Structure 1
Amino acid sequence: MKNFRSVFVILFLFALCVGIHAQQRLLGGDISLLPSYEKAGTIYRNEKGKAIKPLEYFKEQSWNAIRVRLFVDPSKASAEHKGEGVCQDLDYVTKFGQQIKKEGYQFMLDFHYSDTWADPGKQFMPERWKNVDVASLPDSIYEYTKNSLEVMVKAGASPDLIQVGNEITNGMLWPVAKVDPLGMENWDLLVKLLESGAKACREICPKAKIIIHTEQAGEWNKTKTYYNHLRELDYDVIGLSYYPMWHKAVGVLAATLDSLAVDFPDKEVMIVETAAYYSHENDQWAKSADEHSEFYPITTEGQRIFTHELVAELRRHANVTGLFWWFPEENACGNNVTEGWINRGLFDNHTGKVLPAMKEFSLFVQPL
């Protein structure tokens, strides 16, 4: 009887912990362009075709967090990048952040530390820092991060999670802090930049979780080596981008997540960007209608299957505490907010109607 009671208590505590863990998971999307779509009068529709208010509808789909990017001075971005949605300056993000917090979401702020897109292929130095001495760049990062957060906190738009950089596997503020994850050059400067950004976050938003975001989820050696360089850095979450067309099969991601749990057991892991194509219509980068179809068809059903398999896998990993879709708000129906289509959102670009992947996505936060 005594052994039976012990087993019962253990199982009860395990179930309790699992339930608590499920409740703590974050689900949402990077909807940085939503204010622009709403300003253009864009209509979003549910699966029955009824018009909806996106922030209200996302809550119905179990979302509890919203991610928004911040550029240093997007007015300096190229016309091409502005046409792709680069417009999020401090005023834009502060006003949107106020709305996000008012609606009861957790707010993830994504510092790009550039005037335009920051990703594996480009981490351009902002215009305002091009003539700053390299030794002073950590101070520039600190002051900019601190000042931006002070504005948001004062306005009632305090972030709950903060990315210090966006997809920075290859460093930031190129060329001076450009790194190779398997190389040795410029790491001292990159770490100093990240330390300065993290310090400002801790001072102004002490309760916020700090995220370091990379995009090599399909390359364990690069991911491990990268975060090994940051062993002394003060941060909370390993943030990963995972797109099946660039980062290999879901099973490869699963192996990376297992390895992160072993090598970095004190860090939460969040998939801060994911998405999959449902079409290549009006897509300026696609060379054919079936490009990137190695794992999933380029159809709405293919997108749904991907989402189902990704969510099912992520729910098996206790260290994964967040999942965010990138650009789910894309909806070209009745507007010209962007100059081309990406077709990886969760709404149909022709009708504005929600796609089947949305329901699969919501299962991430359901009790295990």
Structure 2
Amino acid sequence: MADEINLKQHTINRRTFLKAASIGASAITFGNALATFPATAEAATFYKGADISWVPQMEAAGYYWLNSSGVKEDILTILKGYGINAIRLRTWVNPSTDPVNGHCSIDETAAMAVRCKNAGLPVDIDFHFGDTWNSVGKQNPPAAWASMTYSQMLTAMYNYVYHSCNVLKYNGVTPAWVQIGNETNSGICHPIGSISNPAQMTGLLNAAYAMVKEVFPSTPVLIHLAQPQNSSSIEAFFNAYTANGGNWDISAFSSYGSGSSTISTIISNINTYKSTYGKPVMQVEFGGQENRASRTETDLESYITGMKSIGGLGVFYWEPEVYSPFTDYTMGAWGSTTFEPTIALNGFLNA
């Protein structure tokens, strides 16, 4: 589908853009207009969300979902019944066809985003800037970018995000949020965009930010970091990013810590980051062991209550719909033998 899209020649002066991105400028000249990207105000709605990027691959393999009454139903319908009102979807650059570790190309992600839109669910698009998983412990560039210089990678980033956003727009989807990178504590696209090269890291992320804003001017852009309990890692990233003119609208976090004391510390830390860096905050990943569903339910309630108490924007459960043997990931919220949701999802209702 994407190959059929006629992406018209845009009016950005590329030399100006690349120069601005390389120094982390917060405003870039588009033609004769100066585009500035202010932080987005916190929304009145609190979002209870789920990342369900595995759904198309599960369905293609014959998996299905029962609701809590044992009746087969569309997964989006079931999730909405728990008060879930937003969906997160990842996308990779040139993924394999592996059902667990591949797919999620921008075409596939756009198709799933259309399905969510038709169900009345806003979407958060999560760019990993890789061909498969990137996370707090791994930030590999797409294979096609691996041997690029910084200048070449800036151009690749510019073109990739611009094109991907236009695929979404072509399909009638305006994302509610876009994440530029996944758990980027150590930067992106190592080694070029590593945090040890902070100006280059910032330049690449600013390039992504600018292209999201050109296609979707009103869509908030998220920076996503893992383990908010590790304040040294979070502060190291944000300090480097801000020092080099980094642009973002919302600070987003992956938080899997369990227990009231741990969660209290995490919420307190997130509140500190909100105050220190002046951006609204959101929790875009949470999960708990399927065999400890009662504990996960309690933890989910605690995160939602805690994020609400500090004016947070929402909490997302990561892949609650998954169950074995599709994958060996054990932190979903569906019974592997019953095919029904566990009580973990009641946390969305009880909070």
TM-score (norm 1): 0.79
**Alpha-carbon distance in 1 for matches of 2:220, 2:87:** 14
> What's the CA shift for 1:308?
2.5
Letter in 2 for 1:88: C
The equivalences for 1:170-319 within 5 A come to 170-179=186-195, 185-231=196-242, 232-244=245-257, 249-265=262-278, 267-279=279-291, 299-318=292-311
Kindly tell me: are residues 168 and 22 of structure 1, through their superposed partners in 2, closer, same or farther at Cα, counting changes over 3 Å? Answer: closer
Counterpart residue identity of residue 72, structure 1: V
Tell me which residue corresponds to 1:13.
none
Residue 132 of structure 2 corresponds to: 116
**Offset at residue 245 of structure 1 (A):** 6.2
Identity of aligned residues (%): 24
- Counterpart of 1:70? 91
* Partner Cα separation in structure 1 for residue 274 and residue 191 of structure 2: 33
Q: Please say which of residues 231-240 and 302-311 is displaced more in the overlay.
A: 302-311
TM superposition shift of 1:128? 1.2
Gaps of 5+ in 2: 1-41
Aligned with residue 323 of structure 1, among 309, 315, 319: 315
Asked if structure 2 preserves the Cα contact closer than 8 Å seen for 1:97 and 1:158, the reply is no
Q: Which residue number corresponds to residue 6 of structure 1?
A: none
Give the aligned residue type for 1:195: N
State the match for 1:350 in structure 2.
Answer: 337
Deviations 1:63-87 (A, max 9, x none): 1111000000112x8xxxx353421
The offset of 1:138, in angstroms, is 1.5
Residue 38 of structure 2 corresponds to none
Which residue of structure 2 lines up, in the alignment, with residue 146 of structure 1? 162
2:67 equivalent in structure 1: 46
Instruction: For residues 165-203 of structure 1, give each alpha carbon's deviation from its aligned partner in whole angstroms, at most 9, with x where no partner exists.
Output: 001101111122222xxxxx2001000000000000000
One-letter identity of the residue aligned with 2:117 = K
Which of these residues, 139, 162, 167, is aligned with residue 178 of structure 2? 162
Match of 2:27 in 1: none
**Contact 1:311–1:363, Cα closer than 8 Å, also in 2:** no
2:106 to 90, 101, 125: 90
**Cα deviation 1:130-173 (Å, max 9, x = unaligned):** 23222221121111000011111011123221000001101111
Mapped to 2, the partners of 1:249 and 1:41 lie a distance apart of 38
Shift in CA distance, 234/177, structure 1 to aligned 2, threshold 3 Å: closer
Bigger drift between 220-229 and 120-129 goes to: 220-229
Q: How many residues align?
A: 308
- In structure 2, what is the Cα distance between the partners aligned to 1:113 and 1:23? 31
Deviation of 1:22 (Å): 8.2
**TM-score calculated relative to the size of structure 2:** 0.82
Q: Give the Å deviation of 1:93.
A: 0.7
Partner of 1:315, secondary structure, is helix
Tell which deviates more after alignment, 232-241 or 192-201.
232-241
Letter in 2 for 1:256: N
Aligned residue identity for 2:252: G
Separation (CA, whole Å) in 2 of partners of 1:243 and 1:206: 32
- 1:27–1:362 contact (8 Å) kept in structure 2: no
Separation of aligned partners in 2, 1:33 and 1:151: 20
Q: Which has the larger Rg?
A: 1
Q: Distance in 2 between matches of 1:153 and 1:362?
A: 33
| Distance in 2 separating the partners of 1:271 and 1:103 | 23
Paired residue secondary structure (1:171): coil
Taking the TM superposition and a 5 Å limit, the aligned residue runs for 1:29-40 are: 29-40=50-61
**Paired residue secondary structure (2:320):** coil
User: Structure 2 counterpart of 1:258, which letter?
Assistant: N
Query: 1:42–1:331: 8 Å Cα contact kept in structure 2?
Result: no
Q: Distance in 2 between matches of 1:252 and 1:262?
A: 15
Letter in 1 for 2:345: M
CA distances 1:270-293 after superposition (whole Å, capped 9, x unpaired): 1011111123xxxxxxxxxxxxxx
**Which of 116, 121, 134 is matched with 2:150 structurally?**
134
